[in-house]
Structure 1
């Protein structure tokens, strides 16, 4: 039976970084619906957060 949480090596993260932490946040219903429409909602959220963190670091 496959792991329902997935395997970190199957995600587009750096090989040396395991996906071990969870983050929870509130969003509007519309935001949630748009996120769920994505091919890979979890990776979409990780990419969006990382993009914002990179932009903030560049300031």
Structure 2
């Protein structure tokens, strides 16, 4: 009697699993499926770089916790870092150009 009860529970669980799995599959297909043929107006919704040059490379640096928190508190931390790096590079170039060659 115990074996029959256990096998009924198993078959019930399998049946419920199959129904739930099928419902999730249908839901995911309806919600996540891309439009056949793609979006014809994709260029209207694409990413445009803010500056003259596209931002295609990443740069990772290590900083102290206090520096990290201060940078993250800025309105646009990425742009803040880009401007700071560019300012330092421009200053370095200016110093090299001002130094006479020997």
Task: Select 2:75's aligned residue among 24, 33, 39.
Answer: 39
Deviations 1:2-58 (A, max 9, x none): xxxxx342x3x22xx110000000000000000001000000000000000000000
Q: Identify the structure with bigger relative contact order (alpha carbons < 8 Å, sequence gap 6+).
A: 1
Query: Equivalents in 2 of 1:56, 1:42: separation in Å?
Result: 21
Judging by fraction of residues, say which structure has more helix: 2
Relative to the length of structure 2, the TM-score reads: 0.46
Q: Which runs of 4+ in 1 moved over 2 A?
A: none
- RMSD in angstroms over aligned alpha carbons? 1.1
Relative to the length of structure 1, the TM-score reads: 0.76
Compare CA radii of gyration and give the structure with the larger one: 2
Q: Which runs of 5 or more structure 1 residues have no equivalent in the other structure? A: 1-6
2:73 is equivalent to residue 26 of structure 1: no
